[in-house]
Structure 1
Amino acid sequence: MKTSLIVICGATATGKSGLALELAQRLNTMIISADSRQVYREFDIGTAKPSLTEQQLVPHYLINICDPIETLTLAQYQEKAQFLINELTITPLLVGGTGLYIKSIVKGLKIPRVAPQPELKQQLQGLGQRQCYDILSQIDVIATNKIHPNDEVRTLRALEVFYVTGIPISQQQGENPPPYPILQIGLDCSAEDLEKRIEQRTEKMIEMGLVKEVENIINKYGWKLPLLDTLGYSEIKLYLRDKTSLEQAKKEIILHTRQFAKRQRTWFRGDTDIEWFDAKSLNLVEQIWQRIQEFFAYYKHLD
């Protein structure tokens, strides 16, 4: 078949990585990560990054491509992933829970190629969110219809894009879906089952050495590294600063992961192209394998 893509998505702890590993071996293909934190080196246990053994079983791409002090933009991720997909003669698996990463590929999001502008951003922040939003409403009313008045991040980004390019961000956005066929597989389970999975996963991360991983990162990059304020790392950072117990830190990780998973489920449910499977199904791999064979057969017939 010509270029095509299989997506494995869903909330955290639903078993995407294990399923992808099994399917990739059957297909003799590679896995492209769609995880916004696995791109960073040294953030391994807390991001559930594939182990070295798993990476030896199946080639994994777009993991460990940035240092923790660097920032990978959505546009940069999209460019790297699209290049891989278009260059391959096999069908890769795009696997992860970062909805915007996946959407940037399957919908072909048009993303303004404007690098972050630290000095400009600092100047704008000095004006305050209300004034920045007022400025944006004068230059790009379409953008303000989509951006909440309190959303500082998106307001500043829209102003950055306008001041660098002279073109409103709303005129630079949109979708340009890729021409190749895409099969999107979603994994889900009941809230009760997902909570159990999250609890088990958190316990496993602690056993694998999450505390030591965070400690090493702090020793190397300092307490203020932005990535340390993300899920799993911020809670352990508080523990290392003697502001909570390890047991309480674990409870906070579980709670925050549950909240994150809920947001992920809401995001992915908004895409009607995703075909959902029960993560607890005893013959899950065979069900999805059959669906993949149908996908290949259908598009081969069209060719």
Structure 2
Amino acid sequence: MIPLNAPHWQTTDWQQQYRDMIRSPEQLWQRLALDPGDRPDIQTALADFPLRVTEAFVAKMQPGDWSDPLLLQILPQAQELNDQPGYSNDPLQEAASNPVPGLIHKYRGRVLMVTTPACAVHCRYCFRRAFPYNDNRASQDDWRAALDYISAHPEINEVILSGGDPLSAPDDYLHQLVDRLAALPQINTLRLHTRLPLVLPARITHGLIDALTRPQLHTVIVVHANHPNEIDSDTVTALLELKRAGFTLLNQSVLLKGVNDCAKTLTSLSKQLFDCGVLPYYLHVLDKVNGAGHFHVDDAKAQQIMQQLLASLPGYLVPRLVREEPGQRSKTPLALR
């Protein structure tokens, strides 16, 4: 039941909340009681990567605090325009692993489908912020090329739905796509990577669960939580609904300077996720995409944080510290000192 005093955005369905997302700095300043005169540099970064964030995610931020760890993830900053050595628009060289529109094949037994370019939040560290989505439109016509490619590679047994965010797509679209994938006898695992349980928890509906559920598929949902403040009661409800549906729930985080680069924060995150039926999976060092250099945490600090996590958490709540390197057959673990 929706409380009588609930904010307007909370009384609408997920599609309306998606349409009503915040798209201008002025809206964000108003919601968070921030003085734009304190940060005159914001506008310069918007031309490169526009602002997108849901009211549900902004509601978890601390008003008046420019250093709020959730705000920092979506806050445009002028330093995004600084050229930095080693950074590029395609840090994982996905263009070299894009054999047909909408499909990326980097690892032998699995492929990734770019289900939609749409997302309910623009994270400033996103490694696909410059991805050529117009060349990878995943229309139903494009499914044929992707499905034919999968069929021609019998070693592929897992399909990963990504984007954008795959849960930004309508239920009917996902239902039809999952039907087509489930019809391929070689596919036994469906994996989805999503931020929506965190930024738009109203998206987790019975219709969505029905669209993703197939008895012949093991369905894995990887949420992308970076900070414990992202987990409020609505997100807990959404995650528990997915867990009750029988999906395997994992989390992967990106290690971000000023957001979660301390063991205390990541320890709390692992514990809160576990309470929702989610197990830690990966802790990624930053992918070096243009515009994200201000989030960089050096390897020595990352390794120190991992040592502290190992000392404070049981092994099943410790994510693996990894980086993704182009051309490698898997994620590359960072050895601990």
How high is the TM-score relative to the length of structure 1?
0.27
How high is the TM-score relative to the length of structure 2?
0.25
Q: Which of structures 1 and 2 has the bigger CA Rg?
A: 1
Higher helix share: 1
Identify which of structures 1 and 2 has the higher relative contact order when contacts are C-alpha pairs closer than 8 Å and 6+ apart: 1
